[in-house]
A and B are shown apart, each in its own frame.
Chain A
């Protein structure tokens, strides 16, 4: 059985934070005002920010996926019989905090 250190839990929290940060970055991109451009540029600019909002959001989703994956590793580890020493510490990271 492979040992899962508490740092895995800490990393899961950090990935959650990246997810939040990327979601706000996606909002920033999506909220960028394109009305200042000339008519010839405004349309492509609007399409650009729409696409990039999705790209950024997708990156955030991948971050969330990493956090979820690490939590799954912790859960599986804790379900294994015989894990005692770090159970208390790791238990705190099983659930997503926010």
Chain B
């Protein structure tokens, strides 16, 4: 061993950082929702709490008495908002610091291996090897010194971030401090809100939003989430934040009434709607992206639990609607209400996962859109008529316009209508000017009376697709051939888009259980242990499996959503044909059913 060479000591370890940034964000969200609630009190005192037609000494005393309450509410709302913003920033900083610590620990591991190697080499060292070892040890020492500096710098940043958070708490620790710091301070949300375009085009809304400072945007999300949560033209991240502020506040308020036993029937229904949205978001976020392994992003793009006489309206995304290269909007049909969002979010999650798995080099976001009053419950009878679809088509067109206007870089945009949702989509594409790249109808009973053929749809040539399981009884309802109910009675939902005369591009979408096999069977594959396999069998199941993984339908839809729409990219299907001398014929009824993997990259 040669004692002339100084081997560096082990570099310092970055201390454990026991922190959960996502939990901190949850803390921040709770404060923001409470802040919005308190802000409402301030608004109330300054507005409807004033009783204009009440005169006299009692009235004067009352109005004098309420002013300080409003003053305090406004100050408390601003104070709580400041803590929310600091906590959010703190969570972001902690995220970065956790990542940085991982990097520091990796570097420390490498340095220790290096040091260990130096010690090995220093044993039985020949005289002529000393200079090389000295030089290597000096390099290692430099690396260790740099690492020690970086660890110290990292620790300083941890402490600084903690200090900022603690200072924020201490600045508003008493109501006196709150009044002193925020009393009489104008709410930064008020002035920008007064300039918000009312009833404007999404492009105007976008221009207004872009003209705000970041602080003003965050103030609006906290103070007045309802004013932008469903406003087309506002970016999805802001809508999502605003709607979740409202969601948290609503659930807290209605759960309190439920606990007290004073909740009304209407409020109970709204609470159920809100909880459905909350569960759908949580369920989506509990899963990971199949490519990155990161938790899935989910945005609450629409939230209105009391809409449509309590049926509610909601839209939940899987993926980031603001940045994804591909965006799809799925429109469901009969029986859809806000409480159906769980199943619909699962469908679009399956579409998201398939699109990502099949084309991992592309980013995608899929949106489950329950933004119209679909026939459901007692009014399910409306499914035979186009009224709900006509009104829904208008709302869908607004949503598509909003998605377009809220982004600088246009996404590859696909709209997908299932069942009566395809009729709604049809009205969106025939009654309005929309800007979509692709449209897909699955299990469609018709796209409405205004869609006689593909030429009536506002879709680029060759980019309207149809998926129709030949055993789907709902998809069989569309008019075909020469004489039928639409022509004779003006009834029904329009022509079958899978028919040859319609002119759409049909892809294979056969259900794996077509033809009515039993509900379950034992896998007969030789060498495979007995496995009970469940399959669809009844007629309604033939209508509801279009989003199932590893099906022709999901595979083809994922190809369309990701822009792979050449003939060679899709599993093409022949059209339904209705000769004048006979009934309709679906050539797919006899076709082999394929089971393409929707979990593997498409070459």
Q: Assess whether A2 is in contact with B59, with CB atoms less than 8 Å apart.
A: yes
Assess whether B57 is interfacial by the CB under 8 Å rule: yes
Q: Assess whether A2 is in contact with B58, with CB atoms less than 8 Å apart.
A: yes
Q: Assess whether B170 is in contact with A28, with CB atoms less than 8 Å apart.
A: no
Digit string of A31-65 for contact with B (CB within 8 Å is 1, else 0)?
11111111111001101100110011001001100
Assess whether B173 is interfacial by the CB under 8 Å rule: yes
A26 to B73, CA, bound (A): 13
A24 to chain B, nearest CB (A): 4
Assess whether B427 is interfacial by the CB under 8 Å rule: no
Q: Give the chain B neighbours of A25 by CB distance below 8 A.
A: 33-34, 37-38, 249, 252
Assess whether B144 is interfacial by the CB under 8 Å rule: no
Assess whether A73 is interfacial by the CB under 8 Å rule: yes
Given contacts A41-B166, A59-B69, contact A36 B21 (CB under 8 A): yes
- Chain A contributes a number of interface residues (CB within 8 A of B) equal to 47
Given contacts A21-B40, A25-B252, A32-B31, contact A38 B51 (CB under 8 A): no
Q: Give the chain A neighbours of B212 by CB distance below 8 A.
A: none
Q: Assess whether A20 is in contact with B76, with CB atoms less than 8 Å apart.
A: no
* Among listed B255-263, B279-287, B360-368, B449-457, interface-contacting one: B255-263
B interface, over-half SS: helix
* Among listed B41-49, B222-230, B351-359, B413-421, interface-contacting one: B41-49
Q: Give the chain A neighbours of B52 by CB distance below 8 A.
A: 7
A34 to B55, CA, bound (A): 48
Question: Which of B27, B55, B158, B253 makes the CB contact (< 8 A) with A45?
Answer: B27
Considering only residues 12-44 of chain B, those with a C-beta below 8 Å from chain A are 17-27, 30-31, 33-34, 37-38, 40-41, 44
A38 to B163, CA, bound (A): 11
Q: Assess whether B41 is in contact with A59, with CB atoms less than 8 Å apart.
A: yes
Given contacts A33-B27, A44-B169, contact A8 B48 (CB under 8 A): no
Given contacts A2-B56, A36-B20, contact A66 B65 (CB under 8 A): yes
Assess whether B83 is interfacial by the CB under 8 Å rule: yes
A92 to B34, CA, bound (A): 31
A91 to chain B, nearest CB (A): 18
Given contacts A28-B34, A66-B69, contact A38 B260 (CB under 8 A): no
Question: Which of B31, B33, B51, B260 makes the CB contact (< 8 A) with A5?
Answer: B51
Question: Which of A7, A40, A98 makes the CB contact (< 8 A) with B262?
Answer: A98
Q: Assess whether A7 is in contact with B54, with CB atoms less than 8 Å apart.
A: yes
Q: Assess whether B37 is in contact with A24, with CB atoms less than 8 Å apart.
A: yes
B59 to chain A, nearest CB (A): 7
A37 to chain B, nearest CB (A): 6
Q: Give the chain B neighbours of A55 by CB distance below 8 A.
A: 76, 175, 178
Q: Assess whether B249 is in contact with A28, with CB atoms less than 8 Å apart.
A: yes
A47 to B169, CA, bound (A): 9
B540 to chain A, nearest CB (A): 41
Question: Which of A7, A21, A37 makes the CB contact (< 8 A) with B51?
Answer: A7
Show 15 A/B contacts (Cβ-Cβ < 8 Å), sorted by A.
Answer: A5-B54, A18-B40, A24-B249, A24-B253, A31-B30, A35-B23, A36-B23, A36-B25, A36-B27, A38-B94, A40-B162, A41-B162, A48-B173, A56-B38, A66-B69
Q: Which 7 A-B pairs have the closest CB atoms?
A: A36-B23, A2-B56, A98-B262, A36-B20, A25-B37, A32-B30, A25-B34
Enumerate chain B interface residues (CB-CB to A < 8 A).
Answer: 17-27, 30-31, 33-34, 37-38, 40-41, 44, 48-49, 51-59, 62, 65-66, 69, 72-73, 76, 80, 83, 90-91, 94, 158, 162, 165-166, 169-170, 173-175, 178, 248-249, 252-253, 255-257, 260, 262
User: Other than the known A2-B59, A33-B27, A63-B41, what 11 A-B pairs have Cβ atoms closer than 8 Å?
Assistant: A2-B57, A22-B37, A28-B248, A32-B31, A33-B23, A38-B19, A38-B158, A51-B173, A52-B80, A59-B38, A59-B72
